[in-house]
A and B are shown apart, each in its own frame.
Chain A
């Protein structure tokens, strides 16, 4: 297997991201979907703001957590080595994957070595990134999602539309219909407690039978060799405790230096994500089952995935993307995400974080439209618990996508793909006009005099807006006139 082989799923994500504009048109016209997102985002925003009653606490924590993540990134390669060393001496085996296909291969091999055929999976966006389910299915290994939201999404043969609440795009009636189609003895109900109970019963059997548990990781602590998982349902614990083999997969940026780094990050994570002061469970795993212990996975593995992260790391500004703790607050507060929903982006990670991280994972060619889907209102940057300047990074990615290729070393895969010579010329002319006052005044004079010639239809711009109309006189002229008339 070559390191840069593209799996069918990588191209699937790339293809749907490339189709971004059509996806947007499709989803904006879906009234039910828009209502589902509208309600859900409202709920999550209210919960978050109630969880931070004191602005000074929030701001102190955000600054602290930003600096923690920046320190950990500054030491990243050394922390990864330390993490590997400590995990290994704790009995947890570490694997490294540069690409998603490498990661999938590692996981499949581990499962096949144990003749595993039934996998239960806790919520893991990184395994979505590698499209692990599809990959294992091709090798006749059942991989069942066990987070309720993920389970629903898997039944519907969809992808998560939100990184924290995967099935946020569905309402209870849609879930009930889905169960009716897929679960043989389901007696129809739209009662949420009953629906959850149906899922619980099915999944409990699966936990009991499964031979492998796959999960993500929220923080990997280098100092102690500890994998930390945040969750509410208990399925993460089931996956890490009941099957004999536990495989965790995570991005290389999830490592933190010290155990002391965990409490503030955890506090901001749960409050920013769902407005909970603490998740129901926080699970810290440092060893496989030790001698004499009666339960817990007998073997634990960690797969560390790069998949474009080292590209982001190489540029100081873009590196901030890796500070992300995947809380989802940026999408909850994004006016664009709230309207178009999570699937329109086409990528694994939707919303503002998806817009800044996907170009590193898939390259700018399929994702170049994503950074343009922002009004730059700044809400994402304001709520981000680790202070990632998302709007600034969106601008930077826009620049990268239209950058002139000058043969200098490449910053991003696919940089410059969006460059159009006409657009470049227009901006060059615009810059020239604005640099020379005589040309500027001359052109403005003409522009105002020829205002009647302004077309009323300007392509997509006027599809939802009226065309701008230049004023009858330039501002300079009016000011001059105002001054000469002696007005105060």
Chain B
């Protein structure tokens, strides 16, 4: 389509719509009342978060920052995985680097194009930090960065994510409000509530459709 045709399409659509709303008074719109969810205690929020994730086949492990490396080693050991993709200079990179040399650590210090096949075929697991989490729906919020790119939580079959319970919000709406997301959003924000799944064949749930088959949540609760 040429630029001219594009402009015509745009002008036609907007003109048709504007003709219908000309003179509308937007100050008189009805009030939209949200539902007020009862406030719940922090401990209850944490257990809500864990229950939802567990129901969705994620494994939640309560731990501390000091014990992180040990926990990760345990997980990898059980799964017989020797390689781990991680982000250099990320929130917990120091703890993760303690896994050396028992685990072969690989930093995501390349662009996707450089190692696409390697990422798809030879990267069994990854570990990332998280930006926040949501109790009401059991979600982990990722805010991928240069250090922890977004394919880390997508391509490897096992994803381990570290969640700090201090960053737990009661629900999505309050998270967006509290952090004023409308002022600045990164390239990509991702909410994750479990390992990848599908029920597309005869409504039978199967995990590991395209994304990770396994999701481990290391919950730091001090």
Contacts and interface: CB of A to CB of B under 8 A. Distances in A.
Contact of A64 (B8, B17, B33, B177): B33
B101 interface: no
Given A96-B13, A200-B209, A262-B176, A40 B150 contact: no
Given A233-B198, A281-B191, A96 B10 contact: yes
Contacts of B110: 294
Residue of B29, B52, B56, B198 with highest tally of chain A CB at under 10 A: B198
A310 B200 contact: no
Given A3-B9, A233-B209, A80 B14 contact: yes
A241 B151 contact: yes
B173 A208 contact: no
A241 B150 contact: yes
Nearest to B171: A263
Nearest to B8: A3
Nearest to B185: A286
A195 B185 CA distance: 38
A81 interface: yes
Contacts, number: 268
B21 A224 contact: no
Interface string A272-284: 0010111111111
A144 interface: no
A247 B48 CA distance: 37
Given A77-B17, A167-B201, A109 B1 contact: yes
Nearest to B117: A208
Contacts of B19: 314
B187 A287 contact: yes
A423 interface: no
Contact of B202 (A192, A267, A282): A192
Contacts of B17: 76-77, 80, 252, 310, 313
Nearest to A199: B209
A237 B21 contact: no
Given A76-B17, A96-B10, A288-B187, A148 B202 contact: no
B206 to A, nearest CB: 4
Contact of A74 (B10, B29, B191): B29
A149 B209 CA distance: 11
B16 A196 contact: no
A242 interface: yes
Contacts of B151: 241-242, 295
B6 interface: yes
Nearest to A274: B199
A155 interface: no
Contacts of B186: 286-287
A223 interface: yes
Interface string A140-184: 000000111100100000000000011110111001000000000
Q: Please tell me the size bucket of the interface on B.
A: 35 or more
Nearest to A239: B210
B78 interface: no
B10 A67 contact: no
Contact of A200 (B108, B182, B189, B210): B210
B129 interface: no
A102 interface: yes
Contacts of A167: 200-201
A187 interface: no
A306 B173 contact: no
B53 to A, nearest CB: 10
Interface string A25-49: 0000000000010011001100000
Contacts of B32: 64, 67-68, 71
A252 B13 contact: yes
A57 B56 CA distance: 23
6 contacts: A75-B26, A77-B17, A148-B201, A196-B201, A232-B197, A295-B150
Per CB-CB distance, the 7 closest pairs between chain A and chain B, nearest first, are: A234-B211, A149-B200, A233-B209, A278-B137, A295-B112, A77-B17, A282-B191
Given A262-B172, A278-B137, A296-B112, 20 more contacts: A60-B35, A63-B33, A67-B30, A75-B26, A96-B9, A96-B13, A98-B9, A195-B201, A196-B208, A200-B208, A233-B198, A242-B155, A244-B113, A264-B173, A267-B137, A282-B191, A286-B187, A287-B188, A295-B112, A295-B150
